[in-house]
Amino acid sequence: DIQMTQSPSSLSASVGDRVTITCRASQSIRTYLNWYQQKPGKAPNLLIYAASSLQSGVPSRFSGSGSGTDFTLTISSLQPEDFATYYCQHTYTPPLTFGGGTKVDIK
Amino acid sequence: HVQLVQSGAEVKKPGASVKVSCKASGYTFTNYYLHWVRQAPGQGLEWMGIINPSGGGVSYVEKFQGRVTLTLDTSTSTVYMELTSLKFEDTAMYYCARDGASTVATIAGPYDWGQGTLVTVSS
């Protein structure tokens, strides 16, 4: 099975900060990677699919990059509504493993 | 628009079974895979398995093999997840989610999610 490792597991940031979250796969997954945002008590919400494509309705301050084994989710200017937990997930082949998550909270 | 409506919360004893339903609407049911994902309290997301509504083919995470069964009723556009031999550690929110690819020839990952069903295992 492909393992997904996210870092950091948590971070504190201020409104307006640029935030970067990384996700590493245990083998090449080409660009078969999604990013999700989850707020407390809610279902996850898809932000980025295929490593770098922005899901419809998601603000352009979110972007994704990477291929192979190393991927990045960037929030260019953190907004109050962005404080949440973020997960990566590979979609290369089942089982479609999630990363452990990155909790972004207020500094 | 796409809707996935799951059945209500369940409380079960260890060793029992639970069957959670997920009723889909707003799209052609047989064109999209359906995923099941769970989340224990305060923990991360765990992908459990996937079902192909066109034919019923399934794939499960190995740790659930023998305990989880995904089935479907195409007449009502409903998918079921049954988990048997429940343990305390199966206490979690269980989500169904529709895949993003509009063909079962490929898998894009969960795009549209149900509201979740809380399953509590307690003696």
Residue B64 pLDDT grade (very low, low, confident, very high; cuts 50, 70, 90): confident
User: What's the mean pLDDT in B22-45?
Assistant: 97
Cα B15 from Cα A98, distance rounded (Å): 28
- Using an 8 Å CB-CB cutoff, list chain B residues near A44: 37, 45, 95, 110, 113
pLDDT tens digit sequence for A17-31: 999 999 999 999 999
Provide DSSP, B10-77. Answer: EEE-TT--EEEEEEEESS-GGGS-EEEEEE-TT--EEEEEEE-TTT--EEE-GGGTTTEEEEEETTTT
The pLDDT score that the predictor gives to residue A106 is 87
Partner A, chain B 51-110, Cβ-Cβ below 8 Å: 59, 61-62, 95, 97, 100, 107-110
* Token pair listed for A88: 């990566």
Contact A4, A23 (CB under 8 A): yes
Examine the pLDDT at B105 and tell me if it is beyond 90.
no
The pLDDT score that the predictor gives to residue B55 is 86
